[in-house]
């Protein structure tokens, strides 16, 4: 039997156990209540201690002896168990919804990569196209499976929500249906704890969500290609001519890069996605992050959809915390005919709470919401923000 409905089943069985209790007199002449399983407690005592048949001592909440009070008590306990069950099912349904979203994004990524390769014409290795077509078929299959599992988990959560307001007899019947649906979703009779469903496979240059999808190369770490920057360098330190406020800008530096291995042979050593960033501070406590995304693709505008005003970006830190920022302006990309690339620019305000988290934490991953969907990127510049904040404020 699964652990999800064990708490509720126990509560449903409590009235049965209470009916099976027996009042006896022990060898000391003391009245005790003996339960069907051999456990017992003192009768008419303020002591809530429950003694097991083997002498083990348990603490137990006393059950009212008056029939009406006992029924009300058991109904309340049963309802609490149903609420716990509904909460667990709701959490699990949310996880399956996330898994479906990842599978859908993964399918879109492979489709975009396939279109990218086909757009390169006769220079493309036919086998690479064939492999991606196979990957797309697999991604579609994974998306369909994830959708089915998400729907089942949603139905399960709805049922448990309804069980909260049911009477006890009706709830007991619903619990049988719950068990059948639960096993239909998980396909196991083993006890299950609330856990993350297996993540859907990911891939593609546009919707990658797995760190293994990208190579670990970071040009910032290659001193032959990109010599080390000075410890602290400001590109502007003066009065902003538009606002009249004191303004400081850090240098623009690489934040992260991302390239699928399948695309490397066609990029002549370039990275598919290069993101650079800088911080700007204005007197009065204003702080902004400016990001510049350069994507080596003639179709990037269609594949990515641009950066929209109000779109969110989430930065995950190694300590598990997350910082969410909102883009303040729309940009649908600028094309560079020489490089055959598009550049998109976004600007995100950093409030004091975010600043403290970014200064104290190390960045791990970033999720950027594009017009065509979100992308997750692995970050290697763990001290990107702490270094720039130190440059702005600590000199």
Q: Using the 3D structure, point to which of 175, 200, 225 is the last residue of a domain.
A: 200
Indicate whether 1 and 122 sit together in one domain.
yes
Residue 253's nearest CA partner among 219, 276, 221 is 276
Give the span between the Cα atoms of 389 and 227, in whole angstroms.
Answer: 21
Q: Residue 89: which residues within 8 A CB-CB, separation 6 or more?
A: 4, 153, 156, 157, 159, 160, 161
33 in any annotated domain? yes
Q: Residue 327 to residues 152, 223, 312, 345, 373: CA-CA distances in angstroms?
A: 36, 32, 6, 10, 15
40 in any annotated domain? yes
- 32 φ/ψ angles, rounded to the nearest 5 degrees: -135, 155
Give the span between the Cα atoms of 109 and 136, in whole angstroms.
Answer: 9
Indicate whether 232 and 159 sit together in one domain.
no
Indicate whether 152 and 222 sit together in one domain.
no
Max intra-chain CA distance, the chain:
100
Give the span between the Cα atoms of 331 and 300, in whole angstroms.
Answer: 13
Q: Residue 380: which residues within 8 A CB-CB, separation 6 or more?
A: 216, 218, 220, 221, 256
Element (H, E) at 326: strand 322-326
Q: Using the 3D structure, point to which of 178, 200, 222 is the last residue of a domain.
A: 200
Give the span between the Cα atoms of 333 and 65, in whole angstroms.
Answer: 74
Six-digit token string for 33: 């209540």
Indicate whether 175 and 307 sit together in one domain.
no
In order along the chain (395 residues), what is the average pLDDT of each group of 10 residues?
A: 40 41 71 68 60 58 68 79 82 86 87 82 81 88 90 86 79 79 68 34 31 39 46 83 88 90 84 93 90 93 91 89 91 91 94 89 90 88 87 78
Indicate whether 233 and 376 sit together in one domain.
yes
Q: Give 146-205 as a DSSP string.
A: HHHHHHHHHHHHHHHHHHTTS-HHHHHHHHHHHHHHHHHHH---S---S-PPPPPP--SS
Q: Which residues pair with 257 in a beta bridge?
A: 274
Question: Computed from CA positions of residues 119, 260, 273, 302, in that sequence, does the dihedral angle turn out positive or negative?
Answer: positive
pLDDT score for 184: 79
Indicate whether 179 and 225 sit together in one domain.
no
Instruction: Report the predicted TM-score, pTM, of the whole model to 2 decimal places.
Output: 0.45
205 in any annotated domain? no
How many structural domains comprise the chain? 2
Indicate whether 145 and 12 sit together in one domain.
yes
Q: Using the 3D structure, point to which of 158, 181, 200 is the last residue of a domain.
A: 200
Are 17 and 34 a contacting pair, CB within 8 Å?
no
Quote the radius of gyration of the chain (alpha carbons, Å): 30
Residue-number span of the structural domain to which 331 is assigned? 211-393
Give the span between the Cα atoms of 165 and 149, in whole angstroms.
Answer: 26
Indicate whether 243 and 331 sit together in one domain.
yes
Residues shown for the chain:
395
- 281 φ/ψ angles, rounded to the nearest 5 degrees: -115, 140
Indicate whether 196 and 216 sit together in one domain.
no
Encode 343-387 in three state secondary structure: EEEEEEECCHHHHHHHHHCCEEEEEEEECCEEEEEECCCCCHHHH
Give the domain CATH number at 329: 2.60.40
Give the span between the Cα atoms of 138 and 153, in whole angstroms.
Answer: 23
125 in any annotated domain? yes
Indicate whether 172 and 222 sit together in one domain.
no
Give the span between the Cα atoms of 213 and 203, in whole angstroms.
Answer: 6
Angle CA 301–305–309, to nearest 5? 125
């Amino acid at each position: 039997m699964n652990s999800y409905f064990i708490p509720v089943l126990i509560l449903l069985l409590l009235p049965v156990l209470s009916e099976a209790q027996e009042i006896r007199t022990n060898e000391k002449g003391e009245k005790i209540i003996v339960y069907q399983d051999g456990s017992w407690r003192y009768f008419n005592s303020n002591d809530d201690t429950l003694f097991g048949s083997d002498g083990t001592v348990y603490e137990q909440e006393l059950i009212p002896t008056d029939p009406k009070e006992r029924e009300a008590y058991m109904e309340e306990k049963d309802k609490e168990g149903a609420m716990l069950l509904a909460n667990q099912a709701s959490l699990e349904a949310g996880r399956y919804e996330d898994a479906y979203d990842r599978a859908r994004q993964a399918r879109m990524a492979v489709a975009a990569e396939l279109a990218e390769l086909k757009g390169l014409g006769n220079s493309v290795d036919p086998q690479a196209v064939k492999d991606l077509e196979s990957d797309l078929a697999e991604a579609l299959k994974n998306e369909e499976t994830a959708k089915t599992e998400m729907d089942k988990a949603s139905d399960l959560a709805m049922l448990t929500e309804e069980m909260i307001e049911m009477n006890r007899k009706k709830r007991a019947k619903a619990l049988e249906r719950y068990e059948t649906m639960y096993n239909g979703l998980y396909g196991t009779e083993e006890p299950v704890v609330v856990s993350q469903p297996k993540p859907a496979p990911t891939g593609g240059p546009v919707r990658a969500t797995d760190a293994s999808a990208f190579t670990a190369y970071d040009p910032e770490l290659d001193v032959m290609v990109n010599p080390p920057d000075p410890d602290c360098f400001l590109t502007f330190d003066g009065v902003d001519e538009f606002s009249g406020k004191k303004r400081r800008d850090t240098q623009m530096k690489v934040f992260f890069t991302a390239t699928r291995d399948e695309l490397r042979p066609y990029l002549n050593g370039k990275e598919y996605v290069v993101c650079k960033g800088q911080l700007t501070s204005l007197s009065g406590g204003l702080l902004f992050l400016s990001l510049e995304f350069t994507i080596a693709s003639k179709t990037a505008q269609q594949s990515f959809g641009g950066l929209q005003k109000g779109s969110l970006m989430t930065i995950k830190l190694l300590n598990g915390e997350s910082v969410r920022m909102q883009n303040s302006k729309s940009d649908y990309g600028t094309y560079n005919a020489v490089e055959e690339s598009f550049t998109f620019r976004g600007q995100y305000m950093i409030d004091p709470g975010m600043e403290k988290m970014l200064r104290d934490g190390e960045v791990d991953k970033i999720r950027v919401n594009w017009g065509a969907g979100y992308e997750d990127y692995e970050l290697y510049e763990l001290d990107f923000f702490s270094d720039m904040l130190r440059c702005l404020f600590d000199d």
